[in-house]
């Protein structure tokens, strides 16, 4: 169970579904309750598919491009830490690719479940690199099953958070969401830095 909670906690911090709540509310303000529920479900399914593919197929991408696991972990650590800094500074939307032009483009689309909600807002480079690196270190059958269950659990939690987005926005308010996002941002920075430290130590030991 320890492995489950480690991956679950890391993914939750990096994906930060709570920080997505005000964006989701804004993008779906003209939707009916059933439409918001449908988008929430589709988004969580898309996030699960993206993460599970990254988890299992990521190593082949690394091999194809000749990227070492240490290089991936350092890069992923920088991206994860960068996401954390953006949460602390209140610039999460901008760093996730959500700007005015993107928002205007969204209004002309039938569905927002895949882009921008599932990717890049939730399943972005940080979570993808985290999963690829995690798979490299946990490849036994039991570890793979536990990791897959953790990914599924995070996806289900994303569905519940988005499904309750309007209620959460009313209960927490703007200041509450900002406060939670900054706490998550602090934890995300710690995860990113830990990845970088572990990679550097691994390189030093190999010299």
Question: Cβ of 171: how many Cβ atoms within 10 Å?
Answer: 10
pTM recorded for the entire structure: 0.77
Q: What are the residue ranges in the chain where pLDDT is below 70?
A: 90-110
pLDDT of residue 150: 97
What is d(CA 37, CA 162) in angstroms, rounded to the nearest whole number?
8
**Whether the Cβ atoms of residue 124 and residue 96 lie closer than 8 Å to each other:** yes
pLDDT of residue 107: 47
Can you read off the two tokens belonging to residue 3? 């492995």
As to burial, measured by CB atoms within 10 angstroms (0-12 exposed, 13-18 middle, 19+ buried), residue 157 is: middle
pLDDT of residue 92: 52
Would you give the end-to-end CA distance of the chain in angstroms?
34
Residue 202, classed as helix, strand or coil, is helix
Alpha helix stretches (DSSP H) within 17-140: 17-27, 33-65, 69-89, 92-95, 100-107, 125-137
**Whether the Cβ atoms of residue 199 and residue 74 lie closer than 8 Å to each other:** yes
Residue 90: in which H helix or E strand, if any?
none
What CA–CA distances, in Å, run from 42 to 93, 112, 137, 139? 21, 9, 30, 29
pLDDT of residue 40: 95
For residue range 27-74, what is the model confidence (pLDDT) as tens digits?
888 888 999 999 999 999 999 999 999 999 988 888 888 888 788 878
Q: Exposure string (b/e) for 63-77, b if CB count within 10 Å is 16 or more?
A: eeeeeebbebbbbbb
């Amino acid at each position: 169970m320890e492995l489950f909670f480690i991956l679950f906690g890391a993914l939750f911090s990096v994906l930060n579904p709570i920080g997505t709540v005000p964006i989701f509310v804004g993008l779906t303000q003209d939707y009916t309750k059933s439409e918001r529920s449908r988008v929430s479900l589709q988004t969580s399914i898309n996030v699960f598919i993206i993460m599970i593919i990254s988890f299992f197929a990521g190593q082949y991408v690394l091999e194809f491009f000749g990227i070492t696991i240490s290089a991936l972990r350092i890069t992923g650590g920088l991206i994860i830490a960068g996401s954390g800094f953006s949460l602390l500074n209140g610039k999460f939307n901008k760093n996730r690719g959500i700007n005015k032009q993107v928002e205007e483009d969204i209004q002309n689309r039938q569905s927002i479940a895949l882009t921008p909600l599932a990717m890049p807002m939730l399943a972005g480079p940080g979570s993808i690199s985290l999963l690829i690196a995690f798979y490299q270190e946990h490849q036994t059958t039991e570890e793979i099953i536990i990791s897959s269950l953790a990914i599924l659990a995070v996806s289900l939690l994303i569905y519940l958070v988005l499904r309750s987005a309007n209620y959460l926005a009313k209960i927490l308010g703007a200041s509450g969401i900002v406060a939670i996002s900054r706490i998550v941002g602090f934890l995300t920075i710690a995860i990113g830095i830990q990845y970088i430290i572990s990679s550097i130590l691994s390189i030093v030991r190999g010299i």
